[in-house]
Every structure is written in structure tokens, then in C-alpha cells.
Structure 1
Amino acid sequence: MQKIAAIDIGTNTALLLVAEVTQGNEIIPIVQEEWIVRLGQGVDRKKNLSSEAIARTLAAIQEQIEIVRDLGVEQILISGTSAVRDAVNREILLDAIKNDFGITLQVLSGDEEAKLTYFGALSNQNLPGDILVVDIGGGSTELIFGTQQKIEYATSLNIGSVRLTERFIGTDPITDAEYNSIRHAIKEQLTSLKHFDAEQLVGIAGTITTLAAMQLQMDIYDSLTIDNSLITISKVEKIISVLKRKTLSQRKKMPGLKPKRADVILAGALILVEVMQHLKFTEIFVSDRGVRFGLILQELGMINV
């Protein structure tokens, strides 16, 4: 079987997938790991990638490539999303990746990210009817509507867990004024959002998978358990009510919540609950797949981006 590696460089994380591809083009994960690099730190305000964030990201990529090479995998795909797309100095990162590792990073447009996200998330699904995929990232939130076979509509909202945390949260624990400001900012972004008559709501990315892990009080993250699990809006609201009362150091000790996500999880959870309320969904299916699976599908010629 063919082996391919895909790296997804986001605003908050660098995600590695090493997978085997069967003759029927089924993607079977061998390795899935996450590095929290916070590449987008300060990008919302300064529009630049900081030297520290670039260094963290390059160090993570170095570790990822070592894992990939140890497995004997030569083909490595790598893409960048919101933070790379928004940064005016992104060429510094792109040049460093090319010079250090001999790999060209693909900077995804919003539309390209939406397509890779959607088909990546559904790559192990066979869902009937209309589907809405929600991708809450560090810098933006994507909503993609369609069927198992095609995308009908996609939009990107300028709200993400890191972006909102940096913009609104300055005290520990969060104040009522900060909390209300975040909710108001999210609601403002949602006012122009069209109604989606979807039968299935599917969520991907770190905010949603973390909330699923917290729901299960998971000490060690298990992708197989998280993938295709279900989380209700009432459960998300209960988690939010706990998070908003805790300090950062207290949140870092909560089961299912990785310490490096503890500062941004509340903003991400608020995005999810506001989206679900706005679209009148009471539950969401969780997918542990996304852009990195879409990159492999693109490489195999199974989707055209």
C-alpha cells in the first residue's frame, strides 16, 4: 500500500497525518499527532508572523518530518491556512520550510480550505441527505454545506478561538464583561449567515474534538473514540459554565483538556454553541478528520481543489 504524510499548519496547531492508502483509495491513519505551535499569535493585531511563532512551527515540522522519515515515508504534503494566509510576512515561513526541508507549503485560499476540510471530514463517512460541516479554527470558522458528493455553499467567518481570546480576554478568570463581549462579537458575525436546511451537523478541529474529549473525561486522547462521537448543545453549555468560573491553572487540570489549549477553549466553545443556537441544531457529530485528509484526497486525484 502507498504511504503518504500530510501536515496541516493552522493558526493554533500543526497536525501530522501519516496514512496508508489502499487500492480502493481508503485512507487508513497510521500516525496522527498534534503540536500546539500558536503560529497565529498576534496576527489578528499585527498582521505578521512573529519570529518566535515561526521558530516554534519550524521546530514542530522538524519533529514531524523525523517521524515521517523513520516510517520510511517519502511523500510529504504540507499546507497552511488562516494565519499563513493573513500574514503579510508569510514568505519568511515559506522560504524557511523550502530551504530547511525541501518542501513547498501550499497556502490555501478560503475556498480551497473549505473543500479540503469538507471532503477530508467526510472521507470515512457515508451520510445521507444534506450535511453542514463546521470547522472552528484558531483564526477563523468555516461552514461548508453540501452532500456526500459535492459542496453547495461555503463561507468563512473571521472568528476563531485564538483570535477571540487575544481580542477580548485579558483577565483570569474571565470577567462577565469580557464573556459578554465575546458572545456579542460571535452573534454579530452570525447575523448575515444564511439558513442551512441540513440533516446532519458535523464538527471538526481542535475545539470540537477537545470538547468531546472533555465530555468523556479522557485522560489520554483516543482518536478512534472521538471520531464519529456525538456532543449535545446542552453538554457544551455545561462545559462553558464550568470553564468560565475557573482560572487558567485550574482549566489546565481538567480531564480531556490539553494544557496548551486551556487558554483558548472557552472562546472556541462559545463559537460552537452560538453557531448551533443560530442554526437551531441540538447535537453535532464529531469528526477527527479534516484538511490533512483532504490533502491526500487531492493528491490522489479524488477531489479537484
Structure 2
Amino acid sequence: MRLGVLDIGSNSANLRIADLCPGEEPALVRSVKSAVRLAEATDRHGVIGRPAVDRLIAAVREAAAASASAGVDELVPLATSALRDAANRDDVAAEVRAATGVALGFLTGEQEARLTFLAVRRWYGWSAGPLLLADIGGGSMELAYGTGQQPEIALSLPLGAGRLTRHHLPGPPPVRRRKRKALRAHVVSVLDEATPEIIERPPPVRSVATSKTFTQLARLCGAPKTKKNPYRDCHLDRRDLLGWIPRLAKLSDEERAELRGVKSSRAHQILAGAIVAESVMDVLGVERLDVCPWALREGIFLHRLDALAAGRPAGPPFEAVEDVAAVPAPVPIRPDRRMPLARVPHPAGTSPAG
């Protein structure tokens, strides 16, 4: 079958289309990326502004058209922290559906962590032993630890690079040392409260990072490009990261965007991302992170592929979390008459955990 996953994040809407065949890895057919910049358009009350809503509608419309032209059998459109946590989330989602016919779904942060862990486990295999996962997004950071296919611990923390930039580093560079220290102290305090259960577990055999933030930090610190060859070794050392943080603090967004691996769209939040990355490595006692090319979207592909291989309908990839409804199975909808799409709906009257 041909599956499309539309992942709407803080900065962009990413569509990945892949062919799924039991016994084989997902085969990428096409990808489409559109800038939505939801995080920067969110005010201090958590309301996403009109221009960003218009960009989101255009991006979803483009993704639906691309899916139709590619002959997609199912489309899973989901929004992560930037829209999930917005004060006007339901109004925005309703407007997107009215304009495009696509009903956006929402995963909790913990569910994101579980799907991403599934992708990482499949990438590295059982020889990786106990795995530690860290993923820094725009609005949240996910952590997971486990010895099996599913993590024993899955956490989502409000430590996204975009969120921390807006709340703690809102002014233009240079960023003074006291502000960097204050942000790091905040990050460490959140981690100290949230991660004792991970710290008490046996040390991971492999510590892994996913996300654009970690990938760009690894490139900044000297790792090779892996887009054309995802099997190349890519890692991030804490020692290298410590050396870059004061340098990034002195540079403007334009100067940061000229650095190795740093995209202009993420230059404004790369300092906060570096501080979070170094802090989580320090708190969890990790000196090196391997950067995995598979993450959330691949986890969704793999979940659907497992259902195909087992001959069962697509369903929620995890057990229901206490007080939070598990994500239902995709339900067919038709943004246009050319293709059947599927959605991951959010149950009416419930609120997902961030």
C-alpha cells in the first residue's frame, strides 16, 4: 500500500509518501515540505495568528493534492506541539477541515515519543541493547528509554527550541552569559524533576538523538551530511557542543544561517536548541549521541506496516494512557473525489496531554 504522513510542526508541514510492503523497509516515493511558521506566529496568549493559519491551510491543500497525484491509499495528517498546545487549536483545525476537507489529528507528546522510539529501535536493531532517545522539537522535547520494541519510559517536556527561544531568549543577539545560564538552569530543573526514573535504569548501550535540531547541531560540530547516504555515521559530542554555545550567542540570525548545517528558518532557535541538547546530555550522563535518520514519520509508517504484516486493521500504536484517550484508527475521508484519505481524529470533548 502507499501511505502518506503529513507531519505539521512548529516551522513546517512535511509530507512523506512511502510504499509499504511487509518484510521491507518503507520505500520513500515523494516528499513535500511547506513553511507554516506556527511557533513564531503564536502570541503570548498561545493564539496562532491569521497569516500562519492561512499558510497552514495552503500547506494542507498542497499536501492533499500531492497525495492524490501520487496515488496515496491513506493519508495520516497530524499536528504536533505547536498546534496541539495552541489556545485556538480547535478553531484552527475546524477551519483547515472546512477549507481542505482534511481533518487534522493530534498525538500526545508521549505517543510521539513512543512512535519515534519504535523507528529508532528498528533502525539500530536489537544489537543496540537498552536505548535512550532524545528528540528536540519546536514546542517540546521527547525522551524515551527501553530494552524492547516499545519504550518502558516515554516523556514529553516543554523544552522545545522554539518555545524556549520565545520565552527566555526573545531579544536580538548577542545573548549575554547570564541569560544563557538562566535558561540552562531552567532546563536542568525540568530535567531533574522528570528524569529520575531514566537515570535509575541500567545505562543505555546506545544513546540516540532525532530531529532537525540535533541533526543541524551535529553538522555544526563537524558531522557529515547524511541526506544522500543515511548509513553514514553521524554523532554529536557534548564537548564540541559546549564550545559552540558561546559562539552562537554572539552571532546574529543571519550569521548563524551561514554556519555549516544551520538552516535560515531555524537559525533564531539554534542557540536554545544547543543549550537544551547539552543540558540533557549532562543530566543523563551522555557524552555522545548518535543521530538517527528515522523519527516520528517513520514510526507511523512502521506501525502501519506492522498492521499490514499481521493482517489487522490500522489501530492505535500504543495502549491508552490514563486520562488520555488513545488515538483511534484512521477513518476514511475524502478531501477530493480522486483518492480516499485517512485521518487520525482527536476525540470530541477530550484534551491531549502536551
Q: TM-score, normalised by structure 1?
A: 0.89
* 3-state SS, counterpart of residue 152 of structure 2: strand
> Where in structure 2 are there 5+ consecutive unaligned residues?
308-315, 319-354
**Does the CA-based 8 Å contact 1:134-1:142 persist in structure 2?**
yes
* 3-state SS, counterpart of residue 159 of structure 1: coil
Structure showing greater radius of gyration is 2
Distance 1:223 1:66, change over 3 A: farther
- In structure 2, the residue matched to 1:4 is 3
Distance 1:269 1:44, change over 3 A: farther
Residues 93-172 of structure 1: pairs in structure 2 closer than 5 A: 93-128=92-127, 129-169=129-169, 170-172=171-173
CA drift at 1:166: 0.5
Tell me how large the CA RMSD over aligned residues is: 2.4
Greater mean alpha carbon deviation, residues 264-273 or residues 283-292: 283-292
- In structure 1, the residue matched to 2:187 is 186
> Where in structure 1 are there 5+ consecutive unaligned residues?
none
- In structure 2, the residue matched to 1:229 is 234
CA drift at 1:298: 3.2
- In structure 2, the residue matched to 1:200 is 206
CA drift at 1:10: 1.8
CA drift at 1:200: 1.2
CA drift at 1:191: 1.6
Q: Does 1:304 align with 2:317?
A: yes
**Does the CA-based 8 Å contact 1:226-1:287 persist in structure 2?**
no
Match for 2:234: what amino acid?
S
- In structure 1, the residue matched to 2:250 is 245
CA drift at 1:276: 0.4
Match for 1:75: what amino acid?
E
Greater mean alpha carbon deviation, residues 241-250 or residues 154-163: 241-250
Distance in 2, matches of 1:101 and 1:74, equals: 18
- In structure 2, the residue matched to 1:265 is 270
Match for 1:297: what amino acid?
L
**Does the CA-based 8 Å contact 2:135-2:142 persist in structure 1?**
yes
Greater mean alpha carbon deviation, residues 47-56 or residues 133-142: 47-56
Once the two structures are aligned, what percentage of the paired residues are identical? 29
- In structure 2, the residue matched to 1:15 is 14
For residues 204-255 of structure 1, what are the alpha-carbon distances to aligned partners after superposition, in whole Å with 9 as ceiling and x for unaligned? Answer: 111011122333477x872634875222112222332331221112112112
Match for 1:272: what amino acid?
A
CA drift at 1:272: 0.6
Distance in 1, matches of 2:136 and 2:149, equals: 22
CA drift at 1:184: 1.5
Distance in 2, matches of 1:44 and 1:159, equals: 18
* 3-state SS, counterpart of residue 71 of structure 2: coil
- In structure 1, the residue matched to 2:58 is 59
Distance in 2, matches of 1:211 and 1:272, equals: 9
Greater mean alpha carbon deviation, residues 24-33 or residues 181-190: 24-33
CA drift at 1:260: 0.8
Match for 1:175: what amino acid?
R
Greater mean alpha carbon deviation, residues 266-275 or residues 95-104: 95-104
- In structure 1, the residue matched to 2:78 is 79
Distance 1:257 1:109, change over 3 A: same
For residues 64-121 of structure 1, what are the alpha-carbon distances to aligned partners after superposition, in whole Å with 9 as ceiling and x for unaligned? Answer: 3333333332421111121222123112222233233322211112222222221133
**Does the CA-based 8 Å contact 2:79-2:105 persist in structure 1?**
yes
Match for 1:182: what amino acid?
L
For residues 166-209 of structure 1, what are the alpha-carbon distances to aligned partners after superposition, in whole Å with 9 as ceiling and x for unaligned? Answer: 11221222222322221121111112121142221111111011
Distance in 2, matches of 1:154 and 1:65, equals: 31
- In structure 1, the residue matched to 2:90 is 91
CA drift at 1:299: 3.0
Match for 1:126: what amino acid?
G
**Does the CA-based 8 Å contact 1:227-1:286 persist in structure 2?**
no
